[in-house]
Amino acid sequence: MSKSHYQSPRGTRDILPEEAEKWRWTLNSFAELAQRFGYGQVISPMFEDLGVFLRLGEDTEVVSKEMFTFQDKDPKAPQDLALRPELTASICRAFAQHRPTTPWKVWYEGPQFRYEKPQAGRFRQFVQVGAEIIGEEDPAADIEIITLAWKFYESLGLEHITLLINSLGNRETRGAYNRELSAYLSAASGSLSAQSRETLAKNPLRVLDSKREEDLEIISAAPTIQDFLSPEDGNHFESVCDGLTSVGIPFVVSPRLVRGLDYYTRTTFEFAADKLQTAQNAVGGGGRYDGLIEELGGPPTQGIGFALGVDRILLACEAEGLELGDSKPLDVFVVDLTGGSQATQITNEIRDHGFSADRSFGNRSIKAQMKVADRSGALFAIIVGDDELEKNEVTLRDLRGDGSQERVSRSNLVNALAASLKERYSQ
Ligand code: AMP
């Protein structure tokens, strides 16, 4: 077969049926869990006014380098738009727009877009699931949100996830820390990577995000934000840590964890999949963003949330050897040797009764149709030949067991199939 001229764009991929089944199962698991925790789903647009995302901080790489931006076609006043690189900003925009009562507990799922350098576990279109609690400063909200993420990993069977946690304090804390950090990094800037030197000039905190080899030693000796926390923020963080301990969620306090976006305050956290290569082992992260909604034109409102990367979670599951999904084989494949109209009627009837059924097309030979039936993985075949049609019967054949078959009357077909399937599943 010659290769198609067109390929999916760089950094994107097609998820084909076998793989897509795992995706659907995983996304459903998250939806069920979030509903069980009392969160409602928000479905927001895939693109927003560019300004919504600029509020995330123009010095952050996601905003300055990675956004897919475009203008609409309004000839007089074209609007600047961007494909969403994440969903917290959209949720906060939606909150500021609709002003629901608080606490507003919501979850979401969907693709995000970032113009990144593609590599294993890093794509230009990737899927996140996430949740937010808006309008609540109680550390119990932080604990609940982290618990939701943790239970999701657990529900998939993942056992090698590390929760890293830190507090970034408030705006003043960050200001004071930024100055101290800036002084420290500037003194050591000769040994930093060129990229980090550039970052240092714009936003010293971001340098701590660097995973570049030459920066690691300098970063590991950098002052930490913990020494700058106000007593209130220190207490808040302590309550979060105590709460996590009380619900049995293990965590590592990581004093230099600052996360990629600028809007975080107080609690920040990240989940690392220990079985993945370190460069892309972050399978989720989140934190408080107590100033973001105000920035987007809403009233001063606290918020906390997380986003988990589904592409990477599935890679982590693979690395841990987990089989995801609960897919069942097809119940029945209908083989029609009388022209095809019987197959149309019988598959419809079977599907209407809630069973899964498939058929072949094109009026092929019995050999060809049985081959397709076998390949379909169906448990049973229903065969209609001239003799069966004449007697108003069908043949029901066991495709996976001993290959036995029986004639059943057309009117009793559904009952006979139900009984055979019941027996198969009880074996
Ligand atoms: P972030 O908001 O950047 O921390 O993203 C949250 C999570 O989304 C990360 O922990 C990753 O699991 C996932 N993620 C972020 N960027 C990408 C990407 N380019 N490709 C795949 N997953 C990503």
CB 282 near ligand 1, within 6 Å: yes
Give pLDDT tens digits along the chain (427 positions).
567 789 999 999 999 998 999 999 999 999 999 999 999 999 999 999 999 999 888 777 888 889 999 999 999 999 999 999 999 999 999 999 999 999 999 999 999 999 999 999 999 999 999 999 999 999 999 999 999 999 999 999 999 999 999 999 988 888 899 899 999 999 998 999 998 998 898 888 889 888 888 999 999 999 999 889 999 999 999 999 999 999 999 999 998 888 766 678 899 999 999 999 877 899 999 999 988 999 899 999 999 999 999 999 999 999 999 999 888 899 999 999 999 899 999 999 999 999 999 999 999 999 999 999 999 999 999 999 999 999 999 999 999 988 899 999 999 999 999 999 999 998 7
User: Cβ distance 298 to 99 under 8 Å?
Assistant: yes
Q: Measuring CA to CA, which residue among 110, 118, 84 is closest to residue 12? A: 118
Determine the distance separating the centroid of ligand 1 and the alpha carbon of 153, expressed in angstroms.
Answer: 15
Determine the distance separating the centroid of ligand 1 and the alpha carbon of 137, expressed in angstroms.
Answer: 25
Task: Please give the pLDDT value at position 336.
Answer: 97
Q: How far apart are alpha carbons 192 and 59 in whole angstroms?
A: 19
Determine the distance separating the centroid of ligand 1 and the alpha carbon of 124, expressed in angstroms.
Answer: 10
Determine the distance separating the centroid of ligand 1 and the alpha carbon of 88, expressed in angstroms.
Answer: 13
If you take atom 10 of ligand 1, which residue's CA is the nearest one?
284
**Residue of 114, 269, 271 with the most ligand 1 atoms within 8 Å of its CB, for mutation:** 114
If you take atom 11 of ligand 1, which residue's CA is the nearest one?
309
CB 336 near ligand 1, within 6 Å: no
Task: Please give the pLDDT value at position 260.
Answer: 61
Atom number in ligand 1 closest to CA 114: 19
CB 225 near ligand 1, within 6 Å: no
CB 128 near ligand 1, within 6 Å: yes
Q: Which two tokens stand for residue 349?
A: 């009837």
What φ, ψ does residue 121 adopt, rounded to 5°? 75, 5
Q: Does a cis peptide bond (omega within 30 degrees of 0) precede residue 329?
A: no
Task: Please give the pLDDT value at position 258.
Answer: 81
Strands 282-288 and 265-273: antiparallel
Rg of the chain (C-alpha set)? 28
CB 262 near ligand 1, within 6 Å: no
Task: Please give the pLDDT value at position 340.
Answer: 84
